[in-house]
A and B are shown apart, each in its own frame.
Chain A
Amino acid sequence: MAQEAQKERSMVLQKEMIDGLFNDLAKAKETGKKVCYTFIPGNLSELIRTFDLLPVYPEINALQSAMRKKSAAYIKEAERNAHSEDVCTYVKCDVGMMMKGNIGPTGLKIPEPDILLLSYTGCFTFLKWFETLKREYPNAKVIMVHTPYQENAEMTPEMTQYMVKQFKEEVIPQMEAVTGIKYDEEKLKRHLVLAKEAQDWITKIFDTTKHVPSPIDAYFAGVYYIGPINIGFRGTQEAVDYYKELYNEIQERIKLGLGPITPEGEMKEEKYRLVVEGPPNWTSFREFWKLFYDMGAVIVASSYTKVGGVYDMGWRHDASRPLESLAEYCMNCYTNLNIPQRIDLLAKCITDYKADGYITNSIKSCNSFSAGQLPMMRAIEDRLEVPVGFIESDLVDPRYFSYSNIKNRLESYFQMLEQTKALKETESV
């Protein structure tokens, strides 16, 4: 039972952190703290902390609402207000939640924004989303940073300087104006040191899937693991402590030869190791996960857990180049990589983590992820001769999750994997 208690500790830590944030947000008016709405990709967590701002992540609220079965009503509300059926369902869920009183996933009211910070422009929907929010919150200050796309698979010094200039001339002065706090670079550096430390830990954590059986599921459990580093705790001691704790727990699992934990307990037999591209479905998250663990499929790496930062290739925040490092961070988020870079990254995951297959979950309303998914899949199939599968669902709109269709495709896919494995085994004899 020792490991049971340990398992709970990291979960308890995470819950405390998140509850703490939402409590702070609920009390922001009383405490006089300023509130900054921003998105996960390219989030300037350390800078936000430097100005003592409280972050709100609309897409996290949306997915949390979906997991609590509240998104359908919010989306309906947004559609009643003329948001089209094809619009990103994160947006509609967020807008609907706002229209229904902006009560957050924990049941506490989310305060209005003082700043709308858009630090990643690779997703066009983000721009439109904040345009909508700006209309609702005319008093909020909009800060927009243009993030150059890694068109040529590199971050050039010019690109970095272009972004640093925006930080110096736009972001920092405006944050100073809203918060009344003077920019303190030493404070930012202290956050960056802690950010790097958390990044080191999380990289080690996701690298544990090298073990057979894998001690964790890097997608279905991975989305919980990325919580603290993505939603405003990167750059804090709390995040470092959480990841250290989690890492130790996983080490314990490895020592005991245990597989990943699922909602129905320990996974008994690891039959297939997969890499998944694309965000998960949140409305039927448990059912979706069950389709995998029932078949003995464990996800050893996923692109979605890199949405708030790609650390696999060695990139880290660097306190000696604070603003440059923030710029690079924004440019280096997963959806800002060009298609060949993403292919290389995923191929490396498949090879390093000895995956048997590659699955794409294509999200109808998410352009950032969906564009290029098919050619990526074909390229991976050609390069590694690994069986590939394609399923379709949605982020937070329950209408677009068809259990029977997904089940049918996954069943076929797993039977296909079984055959391929059997063939490989007989050939190698």
Chain B
Amino acid sequence: MKKYYLGVDLGSTTSKAVIINEKDEIVGRGITNTRANYKVAADIAREEAIYDARFTLLSNKIKQDMESKPEFKKYMEDIRTVFQYQQFKRRMESLETTLKKTVSAFSYANKEAIAHRISVIIENIRPQIKNEFIHGNIGSKNQFFRDIVSEKYNAEVAIVGREFYEPLMLAFDKSITPVENEMVQYNFKELVLESMALLEEKYKGLAEQQEDGSKEDWYYAELNAVKNNYKNVEITLREHIEAIASEDIHIAKMVGTGYGRALLPFPEDCIKSEILCHAFGAHAIFPNTRTVLDIGGQDTKAIQVDSHGLVTSFHMNDRCAAGCGRYLGYIADEFGLSLNELGPEAMSSTKETVICSTCTVFAGAEVKELLHNGEERPNILAGLHKAIVQRAMSLIARSGGVKNEFTFTGGVARNQAVLKYVKQMVKDSYGDLTMNIHTDSIFMGALGGAMFARRNISADLPVARKANVMEE
């Protein structure tokens, strides 16, 4: 039986899980923003990682086809998105039930009318979400159930009007967390087959793509290929799906890390500091890394590592939110934006407004003042992003600076504006060094955890060292 290793990183904002195989290759990733209960968060992230692992196994089975035939590649991309939609759809059902239950406990006189509104809202949202998943690109945006649903729900509530605003928002606030924290078991095979049916519907209705020059050539080629050949892909997938769905993804060992690690029901030797895990994960992906900057939800860490990926020193900001993800969350709230909108808007700035406040809360007040004085919002946002990075730079300096290759990890590394300033400032302070950012930067801690799980660090380090130089 094949052995797999699991790393779970319980962050302050999101929980991540990574599954690796015996060659340190990532086979599955899972992420959730559930944080009310770390046990549930760990379970949800792990389940997600297992579904993801099944897709990886499936992709491996049809590897040759995927490499040589564009329809296979496209189909596999699409099916993951539709699969996610299917999960969301089930959670939507749960949300509707929970919302109605919440409303039934209300003391409002018009609660039946409220319940009716909820039914209407959900009916309106449902096709929107379906459409955006199947025909749009929402699946590629890394958004959580809460983010997507609340955006749509809020828009619908705004249409309904003032009379229902308060009870409808209250109902949502009270219902979303329990729904997020619900552990929903899906039948992988069933969901895949349903997804295939949906894709069939999609491809059938697809018009022949005409090149209009707005996209790269391969974009049209892929779409046309999949439109004409999706049946072949389906046939191939059906051959494998049974085996893949029933394969036992045997987790031989796991390691928990992150903010909530002490709360995990893991034995003591299966719990590792997130500092070591982030460094180990980042080093595995980029073996020449000597400095790791990790900006997470509630702390920022500057870590120095040696050639084995082991930490030699670190510095962290754990007393103040002004240099980490929560600062951005707070600012997003101040502006009434979603977290995902912050970076792009900051990128559209023409200059960076100087933000003097080093305190998160005071920065909020300063922002209001600046807006009042006519400063442009993108410029203020750019200034705020720069301020975060300045804090991180001071931590880097305190931890010993950047002497060689530099890797940026953590959830905040997904923010383009932060990335821009990190690149700029590291270059200004330490010269032209290799700087690594990975699309999976948010998973580095979980990856490091999984890698520690695979090794008995005190027993077989030299082996671990060789395996460290992972082939990408």
Contact = CB atoms under 8 A, between A and B. Distances in A.
Contacts of B275: 412, 416
Interface in B415-472: 457-458, 461-462
A296 B458 CA distance: 17
Given A405-B318, A418-B458, A423 B308 contact: yes
B272, B313, B398, B458: which has the most chain A beta carbons within 10 Å?
B313
B346 to A, nearest CB: 30
B349 interface: no
Contacts of A378: 400
A381 B313 contact: yes
Contacts of A389: 313
Interface in B274-322: 274-276, 308, 310-316, 318-319
A407 to B, nearest CB: 9
Interface residues of A, number: 23
Nearest to B280: A419
Given A402-B319, A405-B319, A412-B273, A420 B313 contact: no
Contacts of A387: 311-313
Contact of B314 (A405, A412, A422, A427): A412
Nearest to B459: A422
Nearest to A389: B313
A31 interface: no
A35 to B, nearest CB: 40
A418 to B, nearest CB: 7
A390 interface: yes
Given A378-B400, A422-B457, A423-B461, A416 B318 contact: no
Interface string B335-364: 000000000000000000000000000000
A195 to B, nearest CB: 40
A402 B310 CA distance: 26
A267 to B, nearest CB: 19
Contact of B461 (A381, A392, A412, A426): A426
17 contacts: A381-B312, A388-B312, A390-B398, A405-B319, A408-B318, A412-B273, A412-B275, A415-B272, A415-B273, A416-B276, A416-B312, A419-B461, A420-B312, A422-B457, A422-B458, A426-B462, A427-B462
A420 B310 contact: yes
Contacts of A405: 318-319
A411 interface: yes
A409 B311 CA distance: 13
A426 B464 CA distance: 12
Interface string A387-418: 11110100000000010010011011001101
A403 to B, nearest CB: 12
A381 B400 contact: yes
Contacts of A419: 276, 310-311, 457, 461
A12 interface: no
Contact of A388 (B273, B274, B313, B318): B313
A212 interface: no
Nearest to A377: B313
B313 A412 contact: no
Contacts of A423: 308, 310, 461
A215 B272 CA distance: 30
A420 B274 CA distance: 17
A402 B320 CA distance: 12
B272 A422 contact: no
A387, A412, A418, A427: which has the most chain B beta carbons within 10 Å?
A412
Interface string A135-157: 00000000000000000000000
A412 B311 contact: yes
Contacts of B314: 412, 416
A415 B318 contact: no
A420 B276 CA distance: 12
A390 to B, nearest CB: 6
Interface in A246-263: none
Given A381-B313, A415-B272, A418-B458, 12 more contacts: A374-B398, A381-B400, A387-B311, A390-B398, A405-B319, A412-B273, A412-B274, A412-B314, A419-B311, A419-B457, A419-B461, A422-B461
A405 to B, nearest CB: 5
Interface in A353-405: 374, 378, 381, 387-390, 392, 402, 405
B313 A411 contact: no
Contacts of A422: 457-458, 461
Given A422-B457, A426-B461, A411 B273 contact: yes
A405 B458 CA distance: 26
